[in-house]
C-alpha cells in the first residue's frame, strides 16, 4: 500500500488551505494567470506553502490547479504545461526539505475550465489528453498523490481519474463541489457521484469548495452512507463570500472551522482541509482540534513511562581492556559472524528538525535493518550535519548508524577533532569519503579543503584504531572505529577504480559499500579484475540498491547523476513498465538482490530511497527470509 494511504488508514490527515486567497492578499491580480507565479513570483508561492506547513498541514498542495493546456491557453501559455507543473512540484519539495517532518506532496489537478460534449469521442479524447499531459508531469516531478478538486461535472472528473489510474500508481483524491441542496452544479447527487468515482479508481472521494463547514456535513454524511468504510475527504470554503470595498470577504473564522473537526471525523472524513477563503490560521486551528481529538481517543491507552529518553546503547564504546571483539561495533560483529547485513540510507534534512528522517529510520528498523547510514551533504548541498542526525537516530530510534564522513569541508585538524567527538557520542561506524566538490552544489562560493582524500581519511581512522592521532601522539585508548569505504563497479575506467579501492582497503578498511548496481555482471567484473591484480578480495561487500521510480527517473539517474550507470536492458524495462514504474522498480531491485546475495563476498545490501520514500525502498527487503531480516530481534 502507498505510504499516503497507509497513513490515512491509521489516522486522519490535514491538508492545506487556499492558495488563491493568499496570493490575492499578496497583491496578485484576478486578471493574471496565477499558475504563472511559480515562475514570476516563486517566493510568494513558497512562502504560502511554508505557512501551511508551519500551521501543521500534512499535505501541501502544488500550485497547479489551472495548469492544464485549456486554462493556460486563455493566457497564451498552453506551451508551458510541463514547465509550470514541474516547477510547482519542485517548490513544494523544497519546502518539505526544510520542514524537517513528513509532508505529502499533493499534485493539484483542477477542471479544464470549459464545457464539453461528452457524446463526442474527439472531445473526450481531447479532455483525456489534457489530463494525461498534466498528470504525467506531476507524477514525474515527485508528487506523492493526486488531489483532483472543485470539479462540477462528474464525467470530467471520472475521465481524469481513469487517465491517472492508467498512467501512474499515485493515490487519487477525487473531490466534487456541491451546492447547499447537496447536488453538484450539474445536478448529480452525492451517492451517484461517489459510486462513479470509486468505480473509476479513486482511492479517496471527497467534497470541497462552494459551501462552508456546516452545510458540507450533510453531503459528507450522504457519501458515508453510500460507501461505508471508504476513505472520504472534506475541504470547505470559509463560508459564502461577500464583496467588501472591491475584495471578497469570507466570514467563517478559524475557531468555527476547528469546532467542526469532530463532526467531519464522525461522518467518515479522513482527509481534512480548507478551500476558498481559508488561511494558515484556519489550518492551525484545525490542527489543534484534530490533535486534541486524537489525544482524547488515545487517552485510555496512555502509560506512564520512567525516563523520557532511553539510555544510549547503540554504538557505545567498550572499555579499553575488554579485547578487540568487545570493542567492535555491533555492525562489525555481524559482518564477522557472516550475517547478511541490511542498511538503509537517510539524507539529512535542509531544516532544523529531522522528523521525516527519524520516521524513515524507525521504518527501516521495523523491517529488519541492522543500520541506518547518513549521507554527508550529498551533491554538496547545505543540510543538517550528518553526525547530528546520526546521534538523533541512535538516541531516539536505537539503531546503529553509519556516518558518511567527507574530507571536503574539514582541515586535517578538524577531521580528527570531529572523529574524536563522534566516538565520544557513540558513533563509530564511518564511511570514509572524499565528498562532492562545492561547485556541484548550492554554495559555489564555498571553498573546499581536501587536506586529504578518502584514502587519507582511512589512514587517519586506522591510526585512531591503533590508539594514536595522525601526528603519533597517544590517545589513551584504541578507537574501535569500524571503517567502510566506497567502490564504484560501474566506472568506465575499472582498472583505475580497482587500484584506488585497493589503496583504501590496504589502509585498514573493514568493509565496502558500492554505488547502485543494476547489473550483477558489473560486480563480477570488478571482483575478477581485483583478484587478477591483487589476489583474494579482502573485505565484505554491501551492494548498493536504488529502486527506480519510473522511466524518467531511470533516464535522469543514468544521464545526470555522477556514479550511477544503468544498462540498456534496465532502461528499456522501465520504459515498458509505464504506469507501473514503481512496482517494476521494486521488483527489479528484488530480483537483483536475490542474485547479488549469492555472489562471492556480498554480505549485505545498502538501500537508497528516492525522494525520501523509505517505505517503497524497504519493500525490496520482502524477498529476504525472516532470519535475514531479524536484525534487532
Element (H, E) at 344: strand 341-346
Contact 436, 408 (CB under 8 A): yes
Query: Is 432 domain-assigned?
Result: no
In a domain, 390, yes or no: no
414 close to 378: Cβ distance less than 8 angstroms: no
Of 80, 32, 42, 76, which is closest to residue 62 (Cα–Cα)? 42
Helix, strand, or coil here: 174? Answer: strand
Q: Is there a domain that residue 306 lies in?
A: no
Position 447 pLDDT exceeds 60? yes
The DSSP output letter for 36 is G
Q: Does residue 509 lie in a domain region?
A: no
- Angstrom distance (rounded) from CA 169 to CA 502: 44
pLDDT score, position 446 = 65
3-state secondary structure of 76: coil
| Model confidence at 58: pLDDT above 80 | yes
Which pLDDT tens digit goes with each residue over 3-50? 899 999 999 999 999 999 999 989 998 889 999 999 999 999 999 999
Share of the chain above pLDDT 90, in %: 61
pLDDT of residue 556: 81
pLDDT in tens, 318-369: 333 334 443 789 999 999 999 999 999 998 888 888 888 999 899 899 988 9
Reported as type and span, the H/E element at residue 162 is helix 154-167
Which residue, among 487, 483, 509, 540, has the nearest Cα to 329 in the 3D structure?
A: 483
| Nearest Cα to Cα of residue 233 among 146, 303, 301 | 146
Domain that holds residue 295: 3-300
Q: Between 14 and 520, whose confidence is greater?
A: 14
Which grid cell sits at 423? Answer: 566516538
Tell the residue number behind the cell numbers 504563472, with chain if given: 36
pLDDT in tens, 574-598: 899 888 888 898 999 899 889 988 8
Least confident of 128-142, 291-305, 453-467, 511-525: 291-305
Beta bridge partner(s), residue 7: none
Q: How many CB atoms lie within 10 A of CB 178?
A: 27
Whether 574 is in a domain gets the answer no
The phi and psi torsions of 372 (rounded to 5 degrees) equal -120, 120
- Mean pLDDT on 611-632: 75
Could you give phi then psi for residue 150, rounded to 5 degrees? 65, 30
Pairing type for strands 242-244 and 247-249 reads: antiparallel
Q: Are 382 and 443 in contact (CB under 8 A)?
A: yes
| Total number of domains in the chain | 1
Q: Do residues 564 and 515 touch, judged by C-beta distance below 8 A?
A: yes
d(CA 240, CA 237): 7
Angle, helix 154-167 to helix 190-200, in steps of 10 degrees: 20
- The CA distance from 548 to 567, in Å, is 13
Banded model confidence at residue 462, pLDDT cuts 50, 70, 90:
very high
- Whole-angstrom Cα distance, residue 380 to residue 436? 5
Measure the N-to-C terminal CA separation of the chain; round to a whole number of Å. Answer: 25
- Quick one: CA dihedral 552, 205, 18, 56, positive or negative? negative
CATH number for the domain harbouring residue 201: 3.20.20.330
Let me know: does 433 contact 398? Beta carbons within 8 Å: no
Quote the CA–CA distance of 491 and 523 in Å, as a whole number: 11
Query: Is the model more confident about 615 or about 107?
Result: 107
Grid coordinates given for 459? 589512514
Does any domain span residue 377?
no
Residue 100, phi then psi, degrees to nearest 5: 75, 15
Is 477 domain-assigned? no
Output the pLDDT for position 243. 60
Contact 375, 631 (CB under 8 A): no
Give ∠ CA 129-134-135 in degrees, rounded to 5: 95
Torsion sign, CA atoms 152, 158, 159, 160: positive
Alpha carbon 1 to chain centroid distance?
A: 15
Cite the beta strand spans of 65-191 per DSSP E: 104-109, 145-151, 172-176
> Rounded mean pLDDT of 151-180?
95
Structure confidence at residue 77 as a pLDDT band (50, 70, 90): very high
Q: Specify the higher pLDDT residue, 450 or 3.
A: 3
Residue 543 counted as domain residue: no
Strands 172-176 and 145-151, sheet pairing: parallel
Amino acid at each position: 500500500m502507498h505510504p499516503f494511504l497507509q497513513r490515512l488508514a491509521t489516522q486522519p490527515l490535514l491538508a492545506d488551505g487556499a492558495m488563491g486567497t493568499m496570493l490575492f492578499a499578496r497583491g496578485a491580480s484576478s486578471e493574471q494567470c496565477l499558475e504563472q507565479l511559480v515562475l514570476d513570483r516563486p517566493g510568494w508561492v513558497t512562502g504560502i506553502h511554508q505557512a501551511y506547513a508551519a500551521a501543521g498541514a500534512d499535505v501541501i498542495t502544488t500550485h497547479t490547479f489551472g495548469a492544464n493546456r485549456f486554462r493556460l491557453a486563455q493566457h497564451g501559455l498552453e506551451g508551458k504545461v510541463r514547465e509550470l507543473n514541474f516547477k510547482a512540484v519542485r517548490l513544494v519539495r523544497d519546502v518539505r526539505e526544510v520542514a524537517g517532518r513528513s509532508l505529502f506532496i499533493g499534485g493539484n489537478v483542477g477542471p479544464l475550465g470549459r464545457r464539453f460534449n461528452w457524446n463526442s469521442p474527439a472531445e473526450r479524447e481531447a479532455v483525456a489528453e489534457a489530463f494525461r499531459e498534466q498528470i504525467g508531469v506531476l507524477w514525474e516531478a515527485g508528487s506523492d498523490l493526486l488531489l483532483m478538486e472543485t470539479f462540477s461535472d462528474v464525467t470530467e472528473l471520472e475521465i481524469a481519474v481513469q487517465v491517472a489510474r492508467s498512467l501512474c500508481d499515485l493515490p487519487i483524491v477525487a473531490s466534487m463541489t456541491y451546492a447547499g441542496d447537496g447536488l453538484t452544479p450539474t445536478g448529480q447527487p452525492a451517492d451517484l457521484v461517489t459510486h462513479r468515482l470509486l468505480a473509476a479508481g479513486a482511492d479517496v472521494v471527497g467534497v470541497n469548495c462552494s459551501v462552508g463547514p456546516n452545510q458540507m456535513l450533510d453531503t459528507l454524511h450522504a457519501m458515508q452512507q453510500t460507501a461505508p468504510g471508504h476513505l472520504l475527504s472534506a475541504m470547505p470554503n470559509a463560508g459564502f463570500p461577500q464583496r467588501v470595498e472591491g475584495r471578497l470577504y469570507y466570514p467563517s473564522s478559524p475557531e468555527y472551522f476547528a469546532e467542526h473537526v469532530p463532526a467531519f471525523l464522525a461522518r467518515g472524513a479522513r482527509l481534512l482541509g480548507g478551500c476558498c477563503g481559508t488561511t494558515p490560521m484556519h489550518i492551525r486551528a484545525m490542527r489543534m482540534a484534530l490533535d486534541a481529538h486524537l489525544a482524547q481517543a488515545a487517552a485510555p491507552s496512555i502509560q506512564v513511562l520512567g525516563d523520557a529518553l532511553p539510555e544510549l546503547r547503540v554504538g557505545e564504546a567498550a572499555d579499553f581492556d575488554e579485547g578487540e571483539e568487545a570493542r567492535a561495533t555491533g555492525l562489525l560483529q555481524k559482518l564477522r559472524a557472516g550475517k547478511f547485513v541490511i542498511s538503509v540510507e537517510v539524507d539529512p534534512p535542509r531544516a532544523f528538525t529531522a522528523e521525516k528522517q527519524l520516521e524513515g529510520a524507525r521504518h527501516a528498523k521495523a523491517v529488519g535493518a541492522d543500520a541506518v547510514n547518513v549521507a554527508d551533504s550529498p551533491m554538496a548541498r547545505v543540510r543538517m550535519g550528518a553526525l547530528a542526525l546520526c546521534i538523533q537516530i541512535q538516541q531516539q530510534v536505537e539503531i546503529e548508524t553509519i556516518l558518511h564522513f567527507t574530507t571536503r569541508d574539514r582541515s586535517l585538524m578538524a577531521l580528527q577533532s570531529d572523529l574524536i567527538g563522534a566516538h565520544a557520542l557513540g558513533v563509530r561506524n564511518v564511511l570514509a569519503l572524499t565528498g562532492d566538490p562545492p561547485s556541484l552544489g548550492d554554495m559555489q562560493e564555498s571553498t573546499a579543503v581536501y587536506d586529504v582524500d578518502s584514502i587519507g581519511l582511512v589512514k587517519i581512522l586506522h591510526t585512531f584504531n591503533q590508539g594514536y592521532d595522525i601526528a603519533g601522539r597517544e590517545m589513551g585508548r584504541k578507537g574501535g572505529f569500524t571503517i567502510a569505504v566506497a567502490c564504484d563497479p560501474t566506472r568506465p575506467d575499472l582498472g583505475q577504480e580497482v587500484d584506488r579501492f585497493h589503496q583504501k582497503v590496504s589502509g585498514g578498511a573493514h568493509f565496502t559499500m558500492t554505488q547502485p548496481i543494476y547489473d550483477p555482471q558489473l560486480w563480477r567484473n570488478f571482483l575478477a579484475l581485483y583478484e587478477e591484480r591483487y589476489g583474494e578480495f579482502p573485505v565484505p561487500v554491501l551492494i548498493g540498491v536504488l529502486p527506480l521510480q519510473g522511466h524518467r527517473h531511470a533516464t535522469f539517474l543514468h544521464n545526470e547523476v555522477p556514479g550511477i550507470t544503468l544498462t540498456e536492458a534496465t532502461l528499456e524495462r522501465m520504459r515498458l513498465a509505464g504506469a507501473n514504474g514503481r512496482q517494476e522498480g521494486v521488483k527489479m531491485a528484488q530480483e537483483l538482490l536475490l542474485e547479488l546475495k549469492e555472489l562471492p563476498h556480498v554480505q549485505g545490501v545498502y538501500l537508497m530511497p528516492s525522494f525520501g520514500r523509505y517505505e517503497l525502498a524497504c519493500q525490496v527487503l520482502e524477498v529476504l527470509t525472516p532470519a535475514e531480516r531479524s536484525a534487532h530481534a
